[in-house]
Amino acid sequence: MGFEERARDAGVDLDMALIRPGNFDLVAQVGDIAYVAGCIALADGSVAFRGRLGAGTDVETGQQSARGAAAALLAALHQAAGGLDRVRRVVRLTGYVTSAPGFGSQPTVINGASDLMIEVFGDAGRHARSAIGVAELPLGASVEVEGIFQVNQ
């Protein structure tokens, strides 16, 4: 089973409409490395999860937001780089979590994104990662995830 099929089986809509709230490309490829800009979880073309972790938004909802952001990341890669079956491995994810003061479970939240990468890519989905707490994210999103992927040229 290819990565495209595994992503669809995991519930990822690879053809979803994506938001690009600025003057930038969602994916920039240099050689065999694809850099995917930060993505947020979407539902019907708008932000799916808003809120601040540790102040009204719980960790489980944050994990769902991270998984949704990772799904949007995969859709961006699929649409711009010619499909997920070109992916050789996930190199790195960086997750940003809108956090209240004192909230320290950003890594647990971003596991939602990491788990999806491993579900779709298996061992090739294991990656380096950072999970960072921030005061605000674009469009009021609770989580944003960006990624670096090695792809076949």
Question: What is the predicted pLDDT for the residue at 132?
Answer: 98
Q: pLDDT of 77-118, one tens digit each?
A: 999 988 999 999 999 999 999 999 999 999 999 999 999 999
How large is the average pLDDT for residues 43-70? 95
Question: Which positions ≥6 away from 119 have C-beta within 8 Å?
Answer: 6, 10, 125
Question: What is the predicted pLDDT for the residue at 1?
Answer: 85
51 dihedral zone (left: phi>0; alpha: psi -120 to 50; beta):
left
77 token code pair: 């890669």
Count: domains in the chain:
1
How large is the average pLDDT for residues 26-33? 96
pLDDT at 30 over 90: yes
Nearest-5° angle of CA 153, CA 38, CA 34? 10
pLDDT at 153 over 90: no
Full residue range of the structural domain in which residue 102 is found: 3-151
The percent of residues in the chain predicted with pLDDT above 90, rounded, is 92
How large is the average pLDDT for residues 30-44? 96
pLDDT at 45 over 90: no
Question: What is the predicted pLDDT for the residue at 101?
Answer: 97
The percent of residues in the chain predicted with pLDDT above 70, rounded, is 100
**CATH label of the domain that carries residue 121:** 3.30.1330.40
Q: What is the mean pLDDT of the chain?
A: 96
